Every structure is written in C-alpha cells, then in structure tokens.
Amino acid sequence: MNINGLDHFTIRTPKLVETLLFYQVILGLKLGWRPQFGFPGHWLYASNKPILHLVEAGDQALDAYLGKAETFMARDVLTICRFVARIYTRCSSIYASRG
C-alpha cells in the first residue's frame, strides 16, 4: 500500500515509540527531519514529503503549542490498526463500485 494522501496530519499518542514503529514497519513511512518544537515527536515522510506528525500526548509544551486535545487520541497501536483497516475497507468498496 502506498500512502500519498496525507499532508501534515498530526496524531497525538501516549505510545510514541510503538506508534512510530507501526507507521514505519506496516505502512512504510520514513522517519525524516523535524524542527525542534520543544516537545517529543517525529515527522514521517512519503516520497520525500512530510505527511504525518506524531507527538507525545499529555506533554505540557505540546498542549501550549497546539492546544489541549479534545478529539480522537490514539490509545495504542491496535486502535490505529483498526482505524487504518476501516479507511482501507471504505476506500476499497468505493473504488470497486466505480468499476
């Protein structure tokens, strides 16, 4: 599966290392350059373009920079897998219905 439709998408996660490994190993994204923001995180690249930002949930510097998270927060890698599987299933059915 090639990822080419995200652009500076941010995921806050309490399991930064595990989430990073998921996107690298399962989806094939590459770890790349990231500015120093003062809070833990990684930028992941596809085709030399930064498309996904992972940040450590609960960090005070992050909350000061982005605001507190009031929406979806990945609880663990399994949650992320389920989320990706739902997207893939929906996209596959849409694609199949168009012939």
Report the C-alpha gap between 91 and 88 in whole angstroms. 5
The stretch 42-69 carries a mean pLDDT of 84
**Alpha helices (H) along 4-76:** 16-21, 60-66
Q: Distance (Å, rounded) from C-alpha 48 to C-alpha 95?
A: 27
> pLDDT-based confidence at 67, cuts 50/70/90?
confident
Rounded to an integer, the average pLDDT of 46-69 is 82
| Per-residue confidence band for 18, with pLDDT thresholds at 50, 70 and 90 | very high
CB 52 within 8 A of CB 9: yes
Whole-number pLDDT of residue 65: 76
Q: How far apart are CA 4 and CA 88, in angstroms?
A: 13
